[in-house]
Amino acid sequence: MSGVLEIKLPKGSILSFGELLLRICPDAGGEWLHDNKLPFFVGGAELNVANALALWQLPSAYFTALPDNAMSAQVIDYLEDKKVDTSSIHKHGDRIGLYYLTRGKDIKNNALIYDRAGSAFAMLKPGQVNWDKVLDGVSWFHFSAICPAISQDVADVCAEVLEVASAKGITISVDLNYRSRLWKYGKQPIDIMPQLVKYADLVMGNVWAAELMLNIPVAPDIHESGQKSIYLKEALQTSETIMAQYPKCKVVANTFRFDAGEGIDYYTALYSGDKLYNSSQYETDKVVDKVGSGDCFMAGLIYGFYNNLDPQQTLEFATAAAYTKLFIEGDATTKTVDQITKAIKL
């Protein structure tokens, strides 16, 4: 039987590792130019996870790099107000990373523009941070495939902290989120990600990300039928292959989010203990904001396993958390545990 992910007492903090970004949101029609108003949100995939966990009353901490200036101080105060522990944030460099995303669009859309070159996080190098100190009291470490996509130095920093976290026996999770507008430094995900995923206890993503990043093939005709049963069969095969190739991995989660006009169809799968669990299916005709839905799913998985819920309970909570995020403007969820629990589709 494959390993089962259990968090044993005493439980420490959950540290999310990644770049804090400001998301700038011009509207598609250009009204922001006439109104002199440009909406923004404080985000970043891993921060979205940290914010959700803090909202759900878990000991959530966050590592990023920010310049040592008044703007960073305001951002840190903002995170502290949300009960996110910011004590390990590394201060150096000159700027906070930005990205521009036309309001209402998906990050996969061509309305996305990154402006994060030379940011404090992008300028991180191995040997700068005392990871023993940062990881003191941490029982769960979360990162995503966005971090090593930034530069070779940041990929090396990821390897550095993962080695220390693994040696300390800290549970490690990774989100295989792919950003096609990153990975511009001469390396492809398959060149980098396998050496990072080997440290993970929980791997989250989808079958296509696993193919791209871990070279685990997906059936070429999978889209022809569009049947849920076919996709779940593929999730099972991908999960089993990940488990075989990465012995430390105990859980694999896959999301399936398909566009349906202006809405989506959404369901998920979780492989644990030699069994594939699948969630209820959710459909909606209208979405407010797709950004952060996957991060909310990841946070839901961490919430479930941290609280020793069974795999099906964990999956249903995470799926409902991700689905309800679609109706919230901004990067992070504002839904409480009780609200999410009530939204679970039985």
The pLDDT value recorded for residue 106 is 58
Q: Which among 22, 74, 72 has a CA at the least distance from the CA of 44?
A: 22
- Residue 204 pLDDT more than 70? yes
Instruction: Determine the average pLDDT of the residues in 296-324.
Output: 97
DSSP assignment of 238-273: HHHHHHHH-TT--EEEEEEEEEETTEEEEEEEEEET
Q: How far is CA 15 from the centre of its chain?
A: 12
Main-chain phi, psi angles of 65, to 5 degrees? -120, 130
Residues 6+ apart with CB under 8 A from 153: 123, 124, 125, 126
DSSP assignment of 108-168: TSTTEEEE-TT-TTTT--TTSS-HHHHTTTEEEEEEETTGGGT-HHHHHHHHHHHHHHHHT
- Residue 1 pLDDT more than 50? no
Instruction: Determine the average pLDDT of the residues in 314-318.
Output: 98
| Range of 29-38, 178-187, 242-251 with top mean pLDDT | 242-251
| CA gap 248, 237 in Å, rounded | 18
Strands 251-260 and 202-205: parallel
pLDDT digits (tens, 9 = 90+) for 322-346: 999 999 998 999 999 999 999 998 7
- CB distance 322 to 296 below 8 Å: yes
Main-chain phi, psi angles of 186, to 5 degrees? 95, 0
- CB distance 121 to 144 below 8 Å: no
pLDDT digits (tens, 9 = 90+) for 207-239: 999 999 999 999 887 776 678 899 999 999 999
Helix (H, G, I), strand (E, B) or coil at 183: coil
Residue type, 342: K
pLDDT digits (tens, 9 = 90+) for 179-200: 888 999 999 999 999 999 999 9
At residue 67's C-alpha, the angle toward residues 66 and 70, to 5°, is 110
| CA gap 43, 23 in Å, rounded | 7
| CA gap 288, 271 in Å, rounded | 30
List beta partners, residue 234.
Answer: none
Q: What's the chain's average pLDDT?
A: 93
At residue 81's C-alpha, the angle toward residues 80 and 84, to 5°, is 40
The pLDDT value recorded for residue 237 is 96
Q: Which among 336, 345, 341, 234 has a CA at the least distance from the CA of 282?
A: 345
- CB distance 322 to 300 below 8 Å: yes
Residue type, 102: T
Helix (H, G, I), strand (E, B) or coil at 221: coil
Calculate what percentage of the chain has a pLDDT beyond 90: 80
Instruction: Determine the average pLDDT of the residues in 290-315.
Output: 96
pLDDT digits (tens, 9 = 90+) for 110-141: 578 899 999 999 999 999 999 999 999 999 99
Helix (H, G, I), strand (E, B) or coil at 86: coil
pTM here is 0.95
Helix (H, G, I), strand (E, B) or coil at 8: coil
pLDDT digits (tens, 9 = 90+) for 46-67: 999 999 999 999 999 999 999 9
pLDDT digits (tens, 9 = 90+) for 63-86: 999 999 999 999 999 999 999 999
Strands 40-43 and 90-91: unpaired
Instruction: Tally Cβ neighbours within 10 Å of residue 165.
Output: 22
